[in-house]
Structure 1
Amino acid sequence: MDASMKDLDRLAVLDPARGREPGPVEWARAEASLERTIAGTPKHRPAPRRWMIAGTVAVAAGVAGAVVVPALLPGTAERAVAAWTAAPATRTGEQVMAQAAACAALDVGGVTTAAPDDVLLAEQRGVATLLIMRKGDTVVECLSVGDDGFATMSLTDSLPQAPPAGWPVNLETMSSFGSRDNMWSNVVGLAGPDVTGIDVRTDDGRVVHASVRSGWWAAWWPGSEGGEVDAIAVTVHTADGSTTHRPSQLP
């Protein structure tokens, strides 16, 4: 036997996954990734950004666009993931004034006071509330679980905003955070006036219904797909029909 092969045999015992057979979901994801690689390399790889977590800074696993994504502290993230729902409950500005006031008091985007009209999008998934709101001329995203676990980031410093001409939506940010069973992903973008709904489908077949309101769309879900290249598909619904895009295909 070649000496190099003997060396490989010795090193094989150090492989922590030695003898482990991937599960059906892992095989499906690996096969989908291989098919995308054969079809062509995605246009871009999301660049790392920073999360602002109630005064703490963390680095994102992967973020598309010139924005950052919120991250919750481990115990809080566990609660949010455990209670998560695929379909969000829409909330009005009046219904989330407590969360909006807390978001307005944070440094990201400048400290302001909140009014119901400042809330551009609000959704509830289990115990987690996601907001996209104005702070002066800045638009920020805030995510909270109950009365704690606040995290926030700036989305844009100018108003108004819209997807590029000819596109029903764009992708402002996408990332994942956490570890093991408490990994979660987040995606945010702009939506044109003709958009009636948006679904996010993971490669293992899960469907997440995004919230769409005031020219924005957003969703979060348990899993690591937001930090991976093209591990989701975004289906945009309009009165004229539906179109499906990989993140790398969106502006």
Structure 2
Amino acid sequence: MTDQLPDLLRSADAEPRTALSTAEVSRREALLAEILADEEAPAQSFRRKDWAVAGAATLLLAAAAAAAVIVVAPGLIPGAGSTGLNGGVLASWTGVPERILPDSPLGSGATRWCESSLDGVNAEAGPIALSHLDARGEAASMLFRQGESVYYCLSAGSGGGFWEMAEATPAEPLPVDAVQVAGSGSHGSGDAAVAYAFGFAGAGVASVVLHEDGVAPIVATLEDGFWTAWWPVADDLGAGPSGTVTVTTGDGASREVAIESLYRQ
């Protein structure tokens, strides 16, 4: 790859240019950096299924270099940084999260792994603020906010985890009873595979519960208009959530909708 490739790709794009948001610029730079790092890394051996995922990721990254924008949607491979979790950790998963402190044993290890993995991704955007720290068994998830970007991260603390990037705010203000999915996907394989979803909630939303085949209801961690959730899945790389979501508002009213209807347009 040469330094001129992004310009050549953009010149071949028939779509009119539009200004990029700060988060989109950060995402482009992070993905381009990963492409260059991959080219310099020594060749690795892959199992057949791993190779399929690696090939899909390469195509996604190449598309990002051309368009400079990634929309996180059902079925896409998880974000820019990941290493494997293990089945023992995921066997401890619980549908109801436990809020934990950053200085707890799990909280400390997980936040340290996430901070190390995100180090340098968007250093010019300023300090990172931690929120949504929870535990589902022996793994913890959290949000890091930095400038106009938000990063969702999951880690067991002692090694293994992944992170994903999304916009920090919805494209338009949400109705008070609305829920929106900002990002979702899956990571891992076999008994170490997980799926995840996160997004926005209106000011009147009191709880968000996801329903997926094979697991207990997944109570999302909801804080300041943003919710997060993850759960173990069968060996199905690239698949995201496909079930329903129960949205309950502060007045006690509930409704159940297909999660596919909640993705931001």
- TM bin, normalised by shorter chain, reads 0.5 to 0.7
Paired AA for residue 155 in structure 1 = A
Identity of aligned residues (%): 25
Match of 1:218 among 228, 232, 237: 228
Paired residues for 1:91-130 under 5 Å: 91-92=100-101, 96=107, 99-105=110-116, 106-110=119-123, 118-130=129-141
Q: Secondary structure at the match of 1:171?
A: strand
Q: 1:132 to 1:232 in 2, by over 3 A?
A: same
The gaps in structure 1 that reach 5 residues or longer are 1-49
For residues 83-128 of structure 1, give each alpha carbon's deviation from its aligned partner in whole angstroms, at most 9, with x where no partner exists. 211111013456545544543342333388867xx12211111111
User: Structure 1-normalised TM-score?
Assistant: 0.62
2:179 corresponds to 1:169:
yes
Q: Say whether the 8 Å CA contact 2:113–2:157 is kept in structure 1.
A: no
Task: Report which of the two structures shows the higher radius of gyration computed on alpha carbons.
Answer: 1
Q: 1:205 to 1:144 in 2, by over 3 A?
A: closer
Task: Please state how far the C-alpha of 1:71 moved relative to its aligned partner.
Answer: 7.2
Indicate the structure with greater helix content. 2
Q: Say whether the 8 Å CA contact 1:101–1:114 is kept in structure 2.
A: no
Match of 1:149 in 2: 160
Paired AA for residue 202 in structure 2 = G
Give distance in 2, aligned partners of 1:121 and 1:68: 19
Give the total of aligned pairs: 194
Q: 1:113 to 1:129 in 2, by over 3 A?
A: farther
Paired residues for 1:167-246 under 5 Å: 168-204=178-214, 206-224=216-234, 227-228=238-239, 231-240=242-251, 241-246=253-258
Q: Secondary structure at the match of 1:196?
A: strand
User: Structure 2-normalised TM-score?
Assistant: 0.59
Question: How much is the aligned-residue C-alpha RMSD, in angstroms?
Answer: 3.7
The gaps in structure 2 that reach 5 residues or longer are 1-30, 39-52, 58-70
